[in-house]
């Protein structure tokens, strides 16, 4: 574990180990209070995300470390004229670990390739937000005591929600989980995510009422008005994906309600006082996950060997995704990883856009 | 003392105790250098106020604590779409105490109701700025040796100056202080502030020359050009409220000149070198007051019980002040506190707007 | 050494001593890990410069100190209405040392005159950036083992580059250095810089190929398109000042390539992997220089006496440079230092604009 760019880089065992360190920190915070003394975290936020930035900064400070950084590109001369490559190489002169949030997909991956210090992806466009996924897993482990044998209801915009995609992929690695996808037809879970669910069952439905009674875990996400061509359609559909106190009556007494936050209207405020609502504790678990991650990356830095270039092929000279960082930085080559040998499916090494060759 | 929202929430004894802690920190800084080790302060500045932010951050860091935060809402995703209620509940996951500056009146109060951690009001619109008031009191105590038996001259915009209103109310709690209000007619001290002065005397006048000879304390504030409908009127009047080296001849040799800063033209620069000018030391006292406050709030957190809802009545469904936070956040109810039983006067629990029923 | 405003304020011995402290910190970082415990650095960046800010903040934090600050004036209420004089006097209440970056020339100098705490110039308009110069000297010392007997090739915009001017002046203090100035005619090194080179040789040329074979040190800088009235001229000339892998063949095997960063196109990326490229290590040396500087200024604060006003004459009532801070702040007088007794040459005390009287 040299960098933390996407969840699928890691085995089930590595993920479990990360969660266990997070649990240990939670139970013995004093043990870790000086663990990062004298070390520096750089928070490189090319777009603002206060919640995520706070979580990482609190994590480093609670480990006894210190923080430098910028909170949006507009304030940053580094961000303006300079390539991501040069920026990370300079930041590596000052800091011991860097966290990057970027509007371009694959930017943290690109940084990691040129970086002497560990790089953590804190969200790259619509692509990945891997520490959110580990946060979600730790929350389920803490609140339900297991990551297996769960009925997981996911509700909202399942088409565009990167946290949903990543969580489904991660939970599919654990035994006997069943997924219930609740969304308007326009925002259904994509096929390539369903293809990840190999040994588990899944069901699709359009209203929360259908899925709620089975749920051990309910994962709510926001539906953005902008996703609908027809505003009337939005008004008609949105209520079917809103959680209210009234609907909570349908749910099991030991179900948990999760949300990556911030929420807008999709969970009404009268749910907040329900003991099954764990979306604020979830934010707290996120800090402990990030403490575990910083700890692991900085301490494993010396022992780890880099194998980034393995199994990468120079399929095309560029990636077709206009938001891919490879179309915004000067790069000698773009690698494409072989995902599926039989069907000749490759993915861009930066943004993971799929290519069937 | 669970939160610090406005001065009038506290008794004279509590205020004196806070000042005494501030004095002790000033005299024995080493004793407090690690007092907040391992604790985090969140500075939530929805509008910029560098001076106030520096003062709080320096206070926390000099106590051995650490800081996370944002310095204006525009840079903050938290601040954009999310309710104050949700923001404070998330921040409470990461930090041990929060300081809030907001353009809406009552926002810090609202946050305090939903917060598990102490909330400090660092200024809410034109409403309150209570740590400035305690700073002013500590300055007077340090420089004059007492908070009683003082001739206090307040000069400038006495109509709109929240620091002036709050200081007058606070000093009225101490014995035998006399107030001299110096302002253009257009910017006179409001009646509801004068009503607070129960056992003390006060006088109103229009030029600094009239009040200066009596002053033990001279408190200067800025007059903003925008307050005058007629610009000519402003030009004619402003000099009567400007302090110059020449006018200082009229004042006692042990008088002190205070100013909440930043000043514009109301104190000419030739006064700066006069030993009676204490407006820069005043800024330093402000840091010690904030150290005392952070210390008290964090350490008393566990022992304190919340009594916020007491004596609150649901008088109206909303507050009539358009800048009140209750008109910008979804709230189930707005409480109105009974201020004056005889005359049936109530005040909004968030912004303190008065209602005579 | 009370403040650090420009390199020419210091003797060769003082500069060497600073470099030696930097080297010692580099070799024994643990010795200095708590040197600034309990002390605060204020970073006052009136214009953004992320790289420089990171370098100073990392320096203070790695010395065990803490940081408050703002990263651009737009976010700062201090910066908006308030004079530099009042701002530094307030900041001195909270912090133990201040670093100032300003778009106005002479602003850090002005601040230093009114400041009780050490002030460091982190760049003032096109005027000075002295910590960059000490960084350059430490880099040469570390990579070449000496500051004497060097062939130094400087390439790019030598007319406007303040780092080039300052480095030439500094290296001229050391024995037996020879300078090769490579630039388009339009961007030649100014005469007043050449006048500083008293006991050394210098040569001027228009292409990198001419100078490169002699170089012990190659110092690259950016050529900005905006400097050319005729864009075609820019296109024609820019390649003669671009360093490529191909041109590197001409250079000695122990030459070093330096650059103040950020670079744009003037060093092609294929040079990065050449062991002679030291521009990223140079950034790291910059952090150690700033650690040495903070350490020296804070510890020498008590012992030093101020002699700022010496040899200053009130030649004119104002300076003719529109970007000089003296034309933007209310000042009683502007001093002019006597630079050259024989020729009656004076310089503005803030921005160093020359006056032949």
The least confident of A76-85, A119-128, B83-92, C159-168 is A76-85
- The whole-number average pLDDT for the span C139-152 is 97
pLDDT the model gives residue B302: 56
Q: Is the pLDDT of residue A70 over 80?
A: yes
H or E element in which residue C339 lies: strand C336-340
Name every chain A residue with its beta carbon within 8 A of the beta carbon of C71.
Answer: 70, 75-76
DSSP state of A344: T
C111 vs C237: CA distance, rounded Å: 41
Decide if B121 contacts B105 (C-beta within 8 A).
no
Hey, which residues does A67 pair with through a beta bridge?
A41
User: Given pLDDT bands bounded at 50, 70 and 90, which one contains residue B310?
Assistant: low
Flag whether C52 is marked binding: yes
- The whole-number average pLDDT for the span A137-163 is 95
The least confident of A74-88, A109-123, C9-23 is A74-88
CA angle at C236 for the pair C235 and C239, rounded to the nearest 5°: 85
pLDDT tens per residue, range C289-317: 999 999 999 998 855 544 444 556 777 88
pLDDT the model gives residue B307: 46
Tokens read off for C10: 């210091």
pLDDT tens per residue, range B137-193: 999 999 999 999 999 999 999 998 889 999 999 999 999 999 999 999 889 999 989
Q: Which residue has the tokens 């969140």?
A: B42
Which domains does chain C show, CATH number per domain?
7-128+284-302 (3.40.50.1370), 144-276 (3.40.50.1370), 325-356 (no CATH)
pLDDT the model gives residue A323: 87
Q: Is the pLDDT of residue C75 over 70?
A: no
pLDDT the model gives residue A252: 98
Q: Is C35 on the interface with A (CB under 8 A)?
A: no
Hey, which residues does A154 pair with through a beta bridge?
A181, A219
Tell me whether the omega of the peptide bond preceding residue B262 falls within 30 degrees of 0, making it cis: yes
Name every chain B residue with its beta carbon within 8 A of the beta carbon of A50.
Answer: 70, 75-79
**CA B246 to chain CA mean position, Å:** 30
Tokens read off for C152: 């130094």
A351 vs A338: CA distance, rounded Å: 14
Flag whether A80 is marked binding: yes
Flag whether B222 is marked binding: yes
DSSP string covering C315-336, please?
-SSS-S-TTBGGGTS--S---E
Helix (H, G, I), strand (E, B) or coil at C170: helix
Of B304, B268, B261, the closest CA to residue B286 belongs to B261
C3 vs C120: CA distance, rounded Å: 6
Q: Is C34 on the interface with B (CB under 8 A)?
A: no
- The whole-number average pLDDT for the span A106-133 is 94
H or E element in which residue B336 lies: strand B336-340
User: Given pLDDT bands bounded at 50, 70 and 90, which one contains residue B76?
Assistant: low
B79 vs B44: CA distance, rounded Å: 9
pLDDT the model gives residue B80: 55
pLDDT the model gives residue A304: 59
Name every chain B residue with its beta carbon within 8 A of the beta carbon of C68.
Answer: 53-54, 57-58, 61
Hey, which residues does A68 pair with through a beta bridge?
A42
Of C307, C298, C299, the closest CA to residue C95 belongs to C298
**Among chain B residues, CA nearest to A262:** B82
A72 vs A55: CA distance, rounded Å: 16
Alpha helices per DSSP H over C63-147: 77-81, 84-94, 107-114, 130-144
User: Taking a contact as any Cβ pair under 8 Å apart, which residues of chain B between 36 and 55 contact chain A?
Assistant: 38, 40, 42
The least confident of A234-243, B5-14, B47-56, C108-117 is A234-243
Q: Is the pLDDT of residue B204 over 50?
A: yes
Of B82, B70, B163, B86, the closest CA to residue B123 belongs to B163
| Closest partner CB to C86 (pick from B48, B58, B262) | B262
pLDDT tens per residue, range C185-203: 889 999 989 988 877 899 9
**CA A139 to chain CA mean position, Å:** 14
pLDDT the model gives residue A308: 46
- Work out the mean pLDDT of chain A and round it to a whole number: 90
- The whole-number average pLDDT for the span C37-41 is 96
The least confident of A84-88, B30-34, B201-205, B342-346 is B342-346
Name every chain C residue with its beta carbon within 8 A of the beta carbon of A75.
Answer: 48, 50, 71-72, 75
Instruction: Locate the DSSP E strands across C107-258.
Output: 119-124, 151-155, 178-182, 201-205, 217-220, 256-258
- The whole-number average pLDDT for the span C171-178 is 94
Rounded to two decimals, what is the model's pTM?
Answer: 0.91
Helix (H, G, I), strand (E, B) or coil at A200: coil
Alpha helices per DSSP H over B219-278: 231-237, 245-248
The least confident of A214-223, A347-356, C106-115 is A347-356
The pair phi, psi for residue B292, each rounded to 5°, is: -60, -40
CB neighbour class for A315 (10 Å; exposed up to 12, middle 13-18, buried from 19): middle
**Inter-chain CB proximity A68 and C49 less than 8 Å:** no
- Work out the mean pLDDT of chain B and round it to a whole number: 90
**Percent of chain B scoring above 90 in pLDDT:** 66
Helix (H, G, I), strand (E, B) or coil at A102: strand
pLDDT tens per residue, range B225-280: 777 778 888 887 778 899 999 999 999 999 999 999 988 889 999 999 999 999 99
**Percent of chain A scoring above 90 in pLDDT:** 66
Q: Is the pLDDT of residue B22 over 90?
A: yes
pLDDT tens per residue, range A267-314: 999 999 999 999 999 999 999 999 999 999 999 885 554 444 455 677
């Amino acid at each position: 574990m040299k960098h933390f760019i996407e969840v699928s880089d890691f085995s089930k065992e590595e993920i479990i180990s990360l969660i266990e360190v997070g649990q240990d920190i939670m139970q013995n915070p004093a043990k870790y209070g000086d663990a990062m003394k004298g070390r520096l975290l750089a928070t490189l936020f090319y777009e603002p995300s206060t919640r995520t930035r706070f979580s990482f900064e609190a994590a480093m400070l609670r480990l006894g470390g210190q923080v430098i950084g910028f909170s949006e590109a507009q304030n940053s001369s580094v961000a303006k004229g300079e390539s991501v490559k040069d920026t990370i190489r300079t930041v590596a002169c000052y800091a011991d670990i860097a966290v990057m949030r970027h509007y371009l997909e694959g930017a943290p991956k690109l940084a990691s390739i040129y970086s002497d210090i560990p790089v953590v992806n804190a969200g790259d466009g619509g692509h990945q937000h891997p520490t959110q996924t580990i946060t979600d897993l730790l929350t389920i482990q803490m609140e339900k005591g297991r990551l297996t044998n769960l009925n997981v209801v996911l509700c909202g915009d399942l088409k565009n929600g990167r946290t949903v995609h990543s969580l489904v992929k991660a939970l599919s690695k654990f035994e006997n989980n069943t997924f219930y996808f609740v969304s308007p037809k326009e925002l259904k879970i994509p096929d390539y995510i369903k293809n990840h669910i190999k040994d588990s069952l899944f069901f699709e439905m359009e209203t929360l009422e259908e899925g709620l009674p089975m749920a051990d875990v309910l994962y709510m996400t926001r539906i953005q008005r902008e996703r609908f061509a027809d505003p009337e359609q939005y008004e008609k559909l949105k209520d079917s994906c809103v959680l209210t106190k009234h609907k909570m009556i349908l749910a099991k007494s030991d179900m948990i309600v999760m949300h990556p936050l911030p929420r807008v209207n999709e969970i009404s405020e009268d749910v907040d006082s329900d003991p099954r609502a764990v979306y604020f504790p979830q934010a707290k678990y996120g800090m402990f996950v990030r403490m575990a991650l910083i700890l692991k990356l900085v301490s494993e830095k010396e022992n780890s060997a880099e194998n980034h270039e393995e199994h990468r092929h120079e399929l095309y000279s560029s990636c077709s995704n206009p938001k891919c960082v490879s179309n915004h930085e000067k790069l000698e080559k773009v690698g494409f990883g072989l995902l599926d040998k039989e069907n000749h499916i490759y993915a861009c090494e930066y943004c993971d856009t799929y290519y069937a060759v």
